[in-house]
């Protein structure tokens, strides 16, 4: 990522993506940025909270086109969990949804590999 513009990084965010955004901008691991912010706060610089909130409100979110496929998938999962929490879905409902998604993906993989290999298709059918 170029250093031309600072963005909040929601895919690696713990709260609002400020530390992750600083980490992307400076090419420093986000762990060190977060640790530095906590240490500044603990050593008597409460202004860190005000700066964090101001940056979270003012800075632009990272455009979706700048995310890799893995980061985009991670961000979409995080948004889905947040939406489920707001809708009041319990942990079992989320797990059931995730399991059905895994089932679907396994079926797609079976179809892909079994469709191109007749012997493998017969073996999978014999296991059912």
pLDDT in tens, 57-103: 888 777 766 666 777 777 777 777 777 777 766 667 777 778 888 88
pTM (predicted TM-score)? 0.49
Q: How far apart are CA 99 and CA 81, in angstroms?
A: 14
Is-contact 11 74, C-beta < 8 A? Answer: yes
Is-contact 18 59, C-beta < 8 A? Answer: yes
The pLDDT-based confidence of 4 (bands split at 50, 70, 90) is low
Exposed / middle / buried, residue 11 (Cβ in 10 Å: 0-12, 13-18, 19+): buried
Residue 2: predicted pLDDT = 45
Instruction: State the chain's mean pLDDT as an integer.
Output: 78
């Amino acid at each position: 990522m170029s250093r031309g513009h600072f963005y909040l990084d929601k895919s690696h965010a713990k709260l609002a993506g400020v530390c992750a955004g600083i980490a992307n901008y400076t090419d420093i691991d986000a762990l060190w940025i977060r640790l530095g912010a906590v240490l500044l706060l603990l050593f008597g610089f409460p202004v860190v909270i005000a700066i964090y909130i101001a940056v979270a409100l003012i800075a632009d979110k990272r455009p979706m086109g700048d995310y890799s496929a893995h980061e985009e998938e991670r961000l979409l999962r995080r948004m889905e969990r947040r939406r489920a929490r707001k809708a009041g879905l319990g942990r079992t409902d989320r797990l059931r949804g995730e399991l059905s998604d895994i089932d679907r993906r396994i079926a797609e993989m079976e179809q892909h590999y079994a469709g191109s290999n007749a012997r493998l298709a017969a073996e999978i059918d014999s296991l059912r």
